[in-house]
Amino acid sequence: MGGASQPDSGTELPVRYRDTQGREAKQRIAAACAAQIPLLTQAVAIGGGSTASEVARQLADRAGLTVVTNSIDVGNR
């Protein structure tokens, strides 16, 4: 026998499904985060996750802003 196996620790839902959970709270958090970024030429790093994805959505129309991310979902916003 032997071999490796993944522990049964449950699974995490993909961001596209978590995006709908707690939507209003995430929008408020994202708006507060976006408001902290000055309206000058900036670069920001945004990680993955459903709230981070909402921050990216809030910043999508910002001119002069470079977003660096490791998340496909954030990059698509």
- Any domain includes 34: yes
**Domain range for residue 71?**
15-75
Higher pLDDT, 40 or 1: 40
- Any domain includes 3: no
pLDDT for 8 equals: 59
- Any domain includes 8: no
In angstroms, how far is the first alpha carbon of the chain from the final one?
47
pLDDT in tens, 25-52: 999 999 999 999 988 878 999 998 889 9
Whole-angstrom distance, CA of residue 66 vs CA of residue 54: 16
- Any domain includes 49: yes
pLDDT for 10 equals: 63
Q: Residue 71: pLDDT above 70?
A: yes
- The count of structural domains within the chain is 1
- Any domain includes 10: no
pLDDT in tens, 48-70: 888 999 999 999 999 899 999 99
- Any domain includes 45: yes
